[in-house]
């Protein structure tokens, strides 16, 4: 059966050129980067070259880039550091954050007596900036603001500069989960008012299990993971050598092809939105589809019926990979917390389609045809 993969916001296939870059570090250049002999020095050089590459692309200092196991560890580290090292006793976040942030801030609230506030959202899912200003101005404690750059389910984009400047005004720490945007948009971190951002290689055709945490050079924190002096005493544990090399190569390729790929992927997304509107009665879209939105993600809502309740399952049976969750689904699946927060309509079933440079309009046509049958 032909498979159509429309779940690239979950993970992307590994680029062959990235694998080719990684392979020598899986075979010949296998030394422990902490060893002082030639094998170790060779590995260390691979890591530091990767760090410089990443820093240059993001316009950061190499000393501000730390390699981790992925976006979740990076978010946990940033939030933990803001509380324990930077004096934040009040966290402001949103109800549509990734669980890597949501569960971490809820844990801090429950276990460490940290005050937790949810910023209001506008009907299209964007952060209400006036409410964010109010929360910051009324807070008697130092705040950590943790808001994602692009929502992984509906694709809404946050104005990093607007939020960062607001945080600066109130001496707040700003962490942004940028997992969906590092490797998809250009960054200029020297001129962006943010203290922490994070990235994960597998979102832009790199390997799984490796990510970065950017820590602004003006911020001094202590390690989250204890037990060794790796990553300049900031993250203990033997480095994921080939993952780190792969991260840098994937970011390099994504950046070199940004203009071409982003334009192409967005054309696929808009084409699918148009075809769904044309062929599926009652379809709607979640988030700011034709406004400030991530070019890889399309979140569609379909009228609920006996057939559409099993939509994801039936798509899978037909070789179509997508993801989602509705505001109200049966059984143990509570549905998507994001969709519940912005559109609590129990008569709709939400599905996220997310695209990469490998997808085609022909695939869109096949999926729309299948959806016509299934709905």
Q: Of 228, 256, 284, which one is at a domain's C-terminal end? A: 256
Helices then strands, each counted (H, E), the chain = 12, 13
Q: How far is CA 69 from CA 54, 72, 359, in A?
A: 16, 8, 28
In contact, 374 and 311? CB cutoff 8 Å: yes
pLDDT digits (tens, 9 = 90+) for 304-316: 887 777 899 999 9
Asked if the model's pLDDT at residue 235 lies above 80, the reply is yes
Assess whether 267 and 329 both reside in one domain.
Answer: yes
Range(s) of the domain holding residue 220:
16-256
Assess whether 35 and 149 both reside in one domain.
Answer: yes
Assess whether 53 and 201 both reside in one domain.
Answer: yes
Assess whether 175 and 228 both reside in one domain.
Answer: yes
Assess whether 130 and 226 both reside in one domain.
Answer: yes
Rounded Cα distance between 359 and 355, Å, is: 6
Assess whether 96 and 35 both reside in one domain.
Answer: yes
Assess whether 8 and 59 both reside in one domain.
Answer: no
CATH of the domain at 334: 3.90.1150.10
Strand partners, 285: 300
Among 131-145, 235-249, 339-353, 361-375, name the one with the lowest average pLDDT.
339-353
Assess whether 28 and 8 both reside in one domain.
Answer: no
Backbone region of residue 150 per phi and psi (left: phi > 0; alpha: psi in -120 to 50; beta: other values): beta
Q: Of 256, 289, 315, which one is at a domain's C-terminal end? A: 256
CATH of the domain at 189: 3.40.640.10
pLDDT digits (tens, 9 = 90+) for 173-194: 999 999 999 999 999 999 999 9
Name the average pLDDT for the chain.
95
Assess whether 240 and 278 both reside in one domain.
Answer: no
pTM: 0.95
In contact, 215 and 66? CB cutoff 8 Å: yes
Asked if the model's pLDDT at residue 347 lies above 90, the reply is no
CA 209 to chain centre: 14
Spatial neighbors of 104 by CB under 8 A, at least 6 apart, are 75, 76, 79, 80
Rounded Cα distance between 267 and 290, Å, is: 12
The 10 Å Cβ neighbour count of residue 87 is: 12
Strand partners, 225: 235
321 is catalytic: no
Assess whether 227 and 269 both reside in one domain.
Answer: no
pLDDT digits (tens, 9 = 90+) for 139-179: 999 999 999 999 999 999 999 999 999 999 999 999 999 99
Chain length of the chain: 375
> What is the tally of structural domains in the chain?
2
Catalytic residue among 143, 167, 321, 328: 328
Assess whether 274 and 176 both reside in one domain.
Answer: no
């Amino acid at each position: 059966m032909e498979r159509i993969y429309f779940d690239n916001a979950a993970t992307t296939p590994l680029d062959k050129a990235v694998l080719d870059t990684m392979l020598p570090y899986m075979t010949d250049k296998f030394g422990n980067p902490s060893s002082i002999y030639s094998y170790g020095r060779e590995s260390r050089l691979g890591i530091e070259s990767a760090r410089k590459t990443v820093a240059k692309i993001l316009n950061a200092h190499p000393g501000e880039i730390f390699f981790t196991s992925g976006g979740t560890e990076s978010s946990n580290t940033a939030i933990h550091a803001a509380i324990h090292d930077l004096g934040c006793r009040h966290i402001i976040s949103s109800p549509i954050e990734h669980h890597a942030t949501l569960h971490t801030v809820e844990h801090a609230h429950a276990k460490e007596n940290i005050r937790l506030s949810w910023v209001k959202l506008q009907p299209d899912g964007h952060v209400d900036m006036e409410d964010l200003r109010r929360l910051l101005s009324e807070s008697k404690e130092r705040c950590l603001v943790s808001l994602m750059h692009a929502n992984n389910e509906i694709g809404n984009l946050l104005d990093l500069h607007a939020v960062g400047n607001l945080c600066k005004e109130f001496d707040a720490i700003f962490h942004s989960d940028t997992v969906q945007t590092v490797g998809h948009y250009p960054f200029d971190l020297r001129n962006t008012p943010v203290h922490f951002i994070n990235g994960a290689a597998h979102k832009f055709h790199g390997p799984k299990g490796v990510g970065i945490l950017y820590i602004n050079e003006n911020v001094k924190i202590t390690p989250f993971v204890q037990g060794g002096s790796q990553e300049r005493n900031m993250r203990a544990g033997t480095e994921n050598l080939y993952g780190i090399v792969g991260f840098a190569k994937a970011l390099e390729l994504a950046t070199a092809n940004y203009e071409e790929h982003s334009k192409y992927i967005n054309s696929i997304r808009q084409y699918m939105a148009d075809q769904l509107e044309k062929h599926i009665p009652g379809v709607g879209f979640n988030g700011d589809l034709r406004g400030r939105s991530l070019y890889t993600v399309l979140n569609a809502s379909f009228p609920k019926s006996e057939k559409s309740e099993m939509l994801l399952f039936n798509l899978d049976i037909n070789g179509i990979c997508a993801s989602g969750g509705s505001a109200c689904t049966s059984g143990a699946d509570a549905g998507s917390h994001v969709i519940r927060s912005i559109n609590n309509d129990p008569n709709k079933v939400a599905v996220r389609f997310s695209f990469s440079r490998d997808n085609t309009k022909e695939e869109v046509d096949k999926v729309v045809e299948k959806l016509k049958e299934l709905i």
